[in-house]
Amino acid sequence: MLNHIEEFYHKQNPTNREILLLLRSLILGLDDHLNEQWKYGVPFFCYNKKMFCYFWIDKKTHAPYIGVVEGGRIDHPLLEKGNRKRMKVLRLNPEEDLPIEGIEEALREALQYY
């Protein structure tokens, strides 16, 4: 039987699953203090028990994105604030190559606040 996190990845379409699993490895590889937990119905990545980022699927476009909890503290071109106060999101286009270096750069900047 799958746990909640495994089930989340399993139920994604193949393209989104591939993207999310790749990003999962990237995020967990950023720092030994990062771990994955199930919070608010999605995979959340925590740094020493503090929420760092999470995965979500946009309801309209069905494209994945990364929500960055302290994103509001950094200015990175890949992050969008929208109407959020604290968080920013990093939208991913499954039809294009992922900007891996930019994603890693934005997440490393956010890690400075932990």
Cα separations (Å) of 21 from 6, 11, 112?
10, 12, 24
Sign of the C-alpha dihedral computed for residues 75, 76, 81 and 85 taken in this order = negative
**30 Ramachandran zone, left/alpha/beta (phi>0; psi -120 to 50):** alpha
Helix (H) or strand (E) holding 106: helix 100-111
Query: Based on the structure, what is the number of domains in the chain?
Result: 1
What is the per-residue pLDDT across 17-60, written as a single tens digit (0 to 9) for each? Answer: 999 999 999 999 999 999 999 999 999 999 999 999 999 999 99
Read off the pTM: 0.92
Judged by DSSP in three states, 63 sits in: coil
**pLDDT of the residue at 83:** 86
Range of the domain at 81: 4-111
Find the CATH number of the domain harbouring 42.
Answer: 3.90.1150.200
